[in-house]
Amino acid sequence: MKDRLEQVKARIKQAAENCQRPADSIKLIAVSKTKPAEVVREAIDAGVTDLGENYIQEAREKVNTLAAANANWHFIGHLQSNKAKYAVRLFDLIHSVDSLKLANELNKYAHKNDKIQPILVQVNVAREDSKSGVYVEDTVALLKGIGQLANVSVKGLMTMPPYFNAPEKVRPFFAALRKLRDRIKSENIPNIAMDELSMGMTGDFEAAIEEGATLVRIGTAIFGERH
Ligand SMILES: *Cc1c(COP(=O)(O)O)cnc(C)c1O
């Protein structure tokens, strides 16, 4: 675990150097879905500060078991509105908001919990039927709606590109997300920050960093294959 983690960190640093970015402008999120709490604890002991989870129920156990470790927890899976209540209690950043309905639910429970909930808007850049996310052309309208909500705070965008297992094939989708981010930033939508770009997984994170990723979500390269 420690060795794999160090290798991933070294690759992140190298990718950052290749494009003249400071390595500390990229945060590693270790994606621990399907991995038990003992394994996550090992990762935290090895230096991981941020964990990514896809399922509320599974995450709840780990967040509670590991509460004393003070890690940051990221929700990266598809979130149903009826689970918003739990997501607000458990997660420091929710990456997968793609509708005003979901944002409204998060806002409601964040208000009840006296919290401002940081979120990202997930964009379906490739318009895949199988993926969640708002289409590029609908993103600004969604952000203008979310900007009205007092208890959620948008920090940036997230995407899951089509899976080619070929970084050069997914690179254009990363570049498209960055362009969208830059365009939205220039519009200065009230209450919307556009600093974070969550993109890049085990198979393609170097390309994502070269295209501007600030949050990379890496599971397999740290924890090994999922079963
Ligand atoms: C599982 C998952 C990851 C991590 O994938 P790996 O290929 O194991 O690095 C990243 N992002 C999301 C949204 C995921 O569901």
Residue 55: the pLDDT is 97
Ligand 1 centroid – CA 208 distance (Å): 13
Residue 26: the pLDDT is 98
Mean pLDDT of the chain: 97
Residue 6: the pLDDT is 98
Which ligand 1 atom is at minimum distance from the Cα of 226? 8
Q: What CATH number should be reported for the domain holding residue 34?
A: 3.20.20.10
Mean pLDDT score, 17-22: 97
Mean pLDDT score, 4-8: 98
Residue 47: the pLDDT is 97
Nearest residue (by CA) to ligand 1, atom 12, is 76
Mean pLDDT score, 167-196: 96
Q: How many domains does the chain have?
A: 1
pLDDT band at 18 (very low <50, low <70, confident <90, very high): very high
DSSP string, the chain: -HHHHHHHHHHHHHHHHHTT--GGGSEEEEE-TT--HHHHHHHHHTT--EEEES-HHHHHHHHHHTGGG--EEEE-S---GGGHHHHHHH-SEEEEE--HHHHHHHHHHHHHTT--EEEEEEB-TT--TTS-SB-GGGHHHHHHHHTT-TTEEEEEEE------S-HHHHHHHHHHHHHHHHHHHHHT-TTEEEEEEE---TTTHHHHHHTT-SEEEE-HHHH----
Ligand 1 centroid – CA 147 distance (Å): 28
> CA nearest 119: which of 147, 141, 80, 160?
147
For 142-177, the pLDDT digits (tens) are 999 999 999 999 999 999 999 877 889 999 999 999
Question: Is residue 212 within 6 Å of ligand 1 at its C-beta?
Answer: no
CA 62 to chain centre: 18
For 24-82, the pLDDT digits (tens) are 999 999 999 999 999 999 999 999 999 999 999 999 999 999 999 999 999 999 999 99
Question: Is residue 160 within 6 Å of ligand 1 at its C-beta?
Answer: yes
Percent of the chain topping pLDDT 70: 100
Question: Is residue 218 within 6 Å of ligand 1 at its C-beta?
Answer: yes
Residue 104: the pLDDT is 98
Range of the domain at 71: 2-223
Substitution site in 51, 198, 217 for ligand 1 pocket (most atoms within 8 Å of beta carbon): 217
Question: Is residue 201 within 6 Å of ligand 1 at its C-beta?
Answer: yes
